[in-house]
Structure 1
Amino acid sequence: METVNNSFESLFQKLEAYGKTTIQLSKLKSLEMSTVLASSLISRLAVILVLSTSTLVLSIGVALWLGELLGRIYYGFFVVAGFYLLAGIIFHLYLHQWIKRPVSNLIIKQALQ
């Protein structure tokens, strides 16, 4: 009878160790997944920040240049603002197709790796 009790105790100890190991493995996998997602998003945000700054400086330069050509500096800023307004409207109309779907696919792809 004692060997049966020892077998059950051994079985329960192994089962408990297996459960703890499984929980630990799940934690490590989720940590890895969130680390990959965070690093991917941070690197993309850094690129977006550099591109945004470059676009801002370029836009100011183009506005000043157009303003000089049109005779009044502020005319150039109006033209550049109109361009960005038109681009914003087009961007808003196709936002789901150009942004939401690729970002969702990126997150899902990174999460399933």
Structure 2
Amino acid sequence: MAENATPIATLFERVEEYIKSTIDYFTLNAVDKSADVVSSLVSRLAVFIMVAVSILICSIGLALWLGKLLGEIFYGFFAVGAFYMLVAVLLHLFRHKWLKYPVSNSIIKQMLKQKEV
């Protein structure tokens, strides 16, 4: 600031600095929240993939075992496939209650979570 600046000029300079600082704060806050949400989703995706692979392997084993009990291997695969079709229909019917709302609420909670200073 110049030594012979008027109080109005000084005020405008301070307002300008305040606006720049506020913009920087909101930008950094948005980046922090986005990184938090993305990292949470990535970690949940990794767990989901591991669970899906485990379920796939167990399903194949169950289908082979049921097929052996029923006399033909493909009967076991039909039985397991029918079970998963039933699960898919239930998920479709209750997708908002079981999937959409919990995921939305989780993302909103993370976005609104305050950092401890």
Measure the CA separation in 1 of the matches of 2:6 and 2:79: 85
Partner of 1:78: 78
Measure the CA separation in 2 of the matches of 1:65 and 1:29: 54
Correspondence 1:24 to 2:45: no
Measure the CA separation in 2 of the matches of 1:5 and 1:24: 27
The structure with the largest helix share of the pair is 1
Measure the CA separation in 2 of the matches of 1:49 and 1:88: 18
Provide the TM-score with structure 2 as the length reference. 0.91
Correspondence 1:13 to 2:23: no
Question: Match of 2:103, as an amino acid?
Answer: V
Partner of 2:110: 110
Q: 1:70-94: per-residue Cα shift (whole Å, max 9, x none)?
A: 1111110000000001111111111
Measure the CA separation in 1 of the matches of 2:11 and 2:91: 61
Partner of 1:62: 62
Number of residue-to-residue matches in the alignment: 111
Aligned alpha-carbon RMSD (Å): 1.4
Measure the CA separation in 2 of the matches of 1:105 and 1:37: 12
**Runs of at least 4 residues off by over 6 Å:** none
Q: Bigger relative contact order, structure 1 or 2, given CA contacts below 8 A and separation 6+? A: 1
Partner of 2:97: 97
Partner of 2:37: 37
Provide the TM-score with structure 1 as the length reference. 0.94
Deviates further, 43-52 or 4-13: 4-13
Measure the CA separation in 2 of the matches of 1:37 and 1:87: 29
